[in-house]
Amino acid sequence: MARITAANIDKALTVGEVAERSGVAVSALHFYERKGLIHSRRSAGNQRRYHRDVLRRVAVIKVAQRIGIPLAEVAEALASLPEARSPNARDWSRLSARWRQELDERIQRLTQLRDQLSDCIGCGCLSMTACRLRNPGDELSEHGPGARRWEGDLPGGQAD
Amino acid sequence: MARITAANIDKALTVGEVAERSGVAVSALHFYERKGLIHSRRSAGNQRRYHRDVLRRVAVIKVAQRIGIPLAEVAEALASLPEARSPNARDWSRLSARWRQELDERIQRLTQLRDQLSDCIGCGCLSMTACRLRNPGDELSEHGPGARRWEGDLPGGQAD
DNA sequence: GATTGACCTTAACAATGGTTAAGGTTTCAT
DNA sequence: ATGAAACCTTAACCATTGTTAAGGTCAATC
C-alpha cells in the first residue's frame, strides 16, 4: 500500500513502513503497542495505521533504551505527553531533561564504583574484609569468630 | 553441624552459612553452582560443603554484577583463576583491572550519550532529523520524499 | 480474479538471573 | 532416638524484551 507520491505524503503509515523507517522490527512494534508505548488506528481490514508521530516516539524509545530506562518507565513518560495535540519541542525537552538526570545518576554511581575498584587493583583487596567495595552489605562482622579471619585462613598466609 | 569453636574454625561451610555471610540467597548459590561460578564438595549425606574461598568468589560476583557484567562473563573470568591453589592478591587484581576497563568504557559511552542528550534538552530536538542522538542508525534519508519532512508535517508548524 | 507480499492473532520460545513449591533426606541438639 | 531445622532435587514460575511459528486475512498488482 501507500505509494509515496506528492498526493499522499500525509498518509498514515503501515507497520512495515514504520519498521523500515524506525529501524525496529515489526514484532517489536507490536510489542510496544501491547505495552502501551505506541498507538495505532486500524484500517477497514484491521491492519495497523500509524500517525507519523509514532516515528518520534519510537526514536525516543530507542534513546531511552540506550540510557537504560526500562520500557515500563518509558511507557509512563510517554503517557505524560499531551493526548490532544502532537507533542512539541517543549514536551520532548521535558523528557530529555528527566532522563538526563537519571543518566547523570547512573554515571555517578558507576564512577564511584570505578574509583573503588581502582583502589582494589593495587592491593587485590577485592577479597578482603577492609575493601570498600565489599563492605557495604557484607554482614561478616556480626557472625562469630570466623568472620574476621580473612587474613588467616589461607595456606601460605598471603593476605589476599 | 559446624559448631563454631576454636577447634573447627577451618571447617567447610554449609550452604546456609555461605548464604548468611555472603548475603545471597541459598537459591542463588545453587544457581551459581549450576552456572559454574562456584563449586562445592559433598558431605556423606550429599549436602554441599564449601571451602572458605567461596566467600571471595561470591563477593567478586556481586561486584561484577554491580558493574553490569553478565554472569556468563563472570564465570569465564573466574574460570581463569588457578585451580591448584587459592587465588592470591595478584589473581584478584587481574580481575579488578579487567573489569575496571569495562567499567571505564561503559562510563564513557554513557557520558557521550549524556552530552548528546544535554544538547537535546535545549532544543527539544529528540524528534528531529538533525539530532545527533537519533541519527546514527536512522535510515530516514534513504526512503523517499516523506523521509525529509520532519519539519513540515505538524499542524502549527513548530519545528519539534 | 488470482497471486503474492504484507498483514493479522495467538502462543510458544529465548536469554538472563534468579525464586518458589513440592516432596523427600540429613544433621544436630536434646 | 527423635523432632526440628536445614538440606537435597526437580520443575515450574517471575520479569524483561522481544522473536518465531502457525494458521489465516488483506491489499495491490498482473
pLDDT of A147 higher than 50: no
Q: Position of cell 559511552?
A: B109
User: Given pLDDT bands bounded at 50, 70 and 90, which one contains residue B133?
Assistant: low
pLDDT of A115 higher than 90: no
> Who's near B20: CB < 8 A, 6+ residues apart?
A139, A143
User: Given pLDDT bands bounded at 50, 70 and 90, which one contains residue B8?
Assistant: very low
* pTM of the full structure: 0.78
pLDDT score of B15: 98
Q: Which tens digit of pLDDT belongs to each residue from B36-45?
A: 999 999 999 9
User: Given pLDDT bands bounded at 50, 70 and 90, which one contains residue B134?
Assistant: low
Cross-strand bridge partners of residue A49: A41
* Bases along strand C below 7 A from a protein CB: 6-10, 16-20, 25-29
Round to whole Å and give the CA distance between A60 and A73: 12
Q: Which tens digit of pLDDT belongs to each residue from B63-99?
A: 999 999 999 999 999 999 998 898 888 888 888 899 9
From A66-80, B77-91, B143-157, the region with the lowest mean pLDDT: B143-157
A64 contacts in chain B (CB < 8 Å): none
> Who's near A6: CB < 8 A, 6+ residues apart?
B145
From A65-74, A128-137, B61-70, the region with the lowest mean pLDDT: A128-137
CA A122 to chain centre: 33
Q: Which tens digit of pLDDT belongs to each residue from B19-52?
A: 999 999 999 999 999 999 999 999 999 999 999 9
Q: Which chain B residue lies closest to A139 (C-alpha atoms)?
A: B21
Round to whole Å and give the CA distance between A58 and A63: 9
Q: Are strands A41-42 and A48-49 parallel, antiparallel or unpaired?
A: antiparallel
Cross-strand bridge partners of residue B41: B49
Task: For chain A, give the percent of residues with pLDDT over 70.
Answer: 69
Q: Does B90 touch chain A (CB under 8 A)?
A: yes
